[in-house]
Amino acid sequence: MDDRGGGHARCRAAPRDPDAQRRARARQRARHLPAEGVMTRALRPDAGFTLTEVLVAVMIFAMISAIALAMLTTALQARDVHTAQMATIGEVQRARALLREDVGQLVLRPFRGPDGLTDGRLFAGDAEGTDPFRPAAPDEEREILVLTRAGWANPGGIQPRSTLQRVAWLYDGTTLKRRAWAYPDVTRESEPATITVLEEAGELRLEFLVRDRWMDGLTIPAGGEGRAIGPRAVRVSYTVPGLGRIEHVLPAPDSGPAS
């Protein structure tokens, strides 16, 4: 105690411990630091994605790309199949139309061959070949239908020909062709026009309705006694890849509608 200065007691502050102050500051800093070994995004606002996040994102993107590619490939394949089938259907429809026109306008008229001699047949049809003296191999091209038809348009008589036309259908076990001459009587100078009607026609069959009976082959000779009688209808059947077996029933003149 010191009675100086008005007799009031004055206490002197105890000196501070430097070590204690350092420990206090260390504890204060520790409260604001994250746990050991832990990185927080809050302390690193400019931090990017972690490696794990990048790998997951790449994997998801790869999966989505693979699914999209598979869907695109499937769509393109379906389009190609559809296009091919539509082309095949178009060929079948053209074959039916040409056969219907030829058989539907059949004329039993004799015709001369390139040698100038009259052919001995008014009409001939057989899937194995119409030449009985020259059997054809299964994969050899042969005539399967030979006839003369009417109705070949010649507007205004522009060309020096009639409306009759000689037609032959050919088959080699796969391909069906149609050959036509400008005149019903063929000469050595005559150049026929040949077109491919069906490129893939397998197991072709021809049948002819004579009176009430279907026959596999039919030949109507020229020069017979009385009026020649043609078939009432012709049935053509074949297989087409992707479509199965196709059948056309083609009526001859005055036999009713085609099917």
What confidence score (pLDDT) does residue 257 get? 43
- Report pTM: 0.67
Which helix (H) or strand (E) is 207 found in, with range?
strand 202-210
Contact 16, 22 (CB under 8 A): no
- Please write down the long-range contacts of 156-160, taking CB distance under 8 Å and 24 or more positions apart: none
What confidence score (pLDDT) does residue 224 get? 66
The SS3 call for residue 86 is helix
For residue 135, what are the CA distances in angstroms to 113, 128, 140, 229? 20, 7, 10, 26
Q: Of 132, 126, 118, 129, whose CA–CA distance to 223 is shortest?
A: 118
What confidence score (pLDDT) does residue 256 get? 42
> From first to last of its 259 residues, what are the pLDDT tens digits of the chain?
444 444 444 445 555 677 777 777 777 776 655 555 444 444 455 567 888 888 999 999 999 999 999 999 888 888 888 888 788 899 999 999 999 999 999 999 888 877 777 777 889 999 998 887 777 777 789 999 999 998 877 776 666 677 888 999 999 999 999 999 888 877 777 788 999 999 999 999 999 999 889 999 999 988 766 677 889 999 999 999 988 999 999 999 864 444 4
Q: What is the CA radius of gyration of the chain?
A: 48
What confidence score (pLDDT) does residue 82 get? 80
Q: Of 143, 167, 249, 245, whose CA–CA distance to 200 is shortest?
A: 245
| Beta strands 165-171; 213-215: pairing state | unpaired
Contact 119, 222 (CB under 8 A): yes
What confidence score (pLDDT) does residue 198 get? 94
Hey, which residues does 146 pair with through a beta bridge?
A: 124, 168
Instruction: Provide the sign of the torsion angle of the four alpha carbons 45, 51, 52, 58, taken in this order.
Output: positive
Contact 164, 148 (CB under 8 A): yes
Give tens-digit pLDDT for 151-170. 877 776 666 677 888 999 99
What confidence score (pLDDT) does residue 47 get? 65
Give tens-digit pLDDT for 165-201. 899 999 999 999 999 988 887 777 778 899 999 999 9
